[in-house]
Amino acid sequence: MSVMSRFGSLIPLGEVSYASTATTTSATRPSPATSTTRPSPTTSTARPSPPAATSSKPLQRSPTSPPHHDMASGLLDAMPGPPPKILPDGQPEAVDWSRSFSGMSTVPFSKESADVLLRPIPPEDIEIKPDGIVYLPEIKYRRILNRAFGPGGWGLAPRGETIVTPKSVNREYGLVVQGRLVSIARGEQQYFDPEGIPTATEGCKSNALMRCCKDLGIASELWDPVFIRGFMSKYSKEVWVEHVATKKKRKIVTKKGVEVKYPYKETSFA
């Protein structure tokens, strides 16, 4: 049995039923592939985890790590200490010169002491380094202080810690004269081997003494460019020297009438 299609052709009835059924099925039932995807109840929206809480406590060093030393602690300026206490016998308590500024700029020195401090340095006492720097040996500063105030009338008091860096040593000192502070300076000295640190510590003290004496007017002409130019033109000379071991030649500045010392010997440029 057949039926007439809409296009005028005969179609068997079995094919019509099958086609219509397939069409109806496809129209009424959604394909599994076209089903709407819904989020599973167990699926949750991902949220960024909060940042880890940082502890305010400082990091603990391991027992095997070397101790940390604050190298800048000695650079802190010393604060003035409390006024000295009066002992029962009427004598004041010893002043802590590592902190105190007691007596600074209270009264000038006597005329006799000032004349000794401000006396011009004899040219024969002034030395010249090979690089052309003029200086006064440290022992000369001590002799001038002894003449001005007498042995025991002055002293150099340390202020702050000794700071040791990989190449140098430095420390602050105060010059105390007749029971009052008159100058403060920081001394420094280089060293090239750890075994030389004790010697560098003494050199640091001598350097601080020289700088403190500058405030008192001792050898102040050595910081005057006019004096230095006149002294160098009159008392210095440039010579070529040769190192005895390495045979290397270089030009140095020395004082007239002073022989070149070992390990150098005077030579010609050629």
In the predicted structure, residue 3 carries a pLDDT above the cut 60:
no
> Can you give the pLDDT at residue 104?
80
Mean pLDDT of the chain: 77
Average pLDDT over residues 193-208: 93
Which domains are assigned to the chain?
136-223 (3.30.390.80), 224-269 (no CATH)
> Can you give the pLDDT at residue 114?
94
The total of other beta-carbon atoms located within 10 Å of residue 114's CB is 14
Q: Are 160 and 74 in contact (CB under 8 A)?
A: yes
- Note every long-range contact of 188-197, with CB atoms under 8 Å and residues 24 or more positions apart, other chains counting: 191/167, 192/167, 197/164, 197/169
pTM of the model: 0.63
In the predicted structure, residue 27 carries a pLDDT above the cut 50:
no
The string of pLDDT tens digits covering residues 117-137 is 999 999 999 999 999 999 999
Using CB atoms within 10 A of its CB, is residue 222 exposed (0-12), middle (13-18) or buried (19+)? middle
- Report the amino acid identity of residue 96: D
In the predicted structure, residue 64 carries a pLDDT above the cut 90:
no
Q: Are 132 and 253 in contact (CB under 8 A)?
A: yes
The total of other beta-carbon atoms located within 10 Å of residue 113's CB is 19
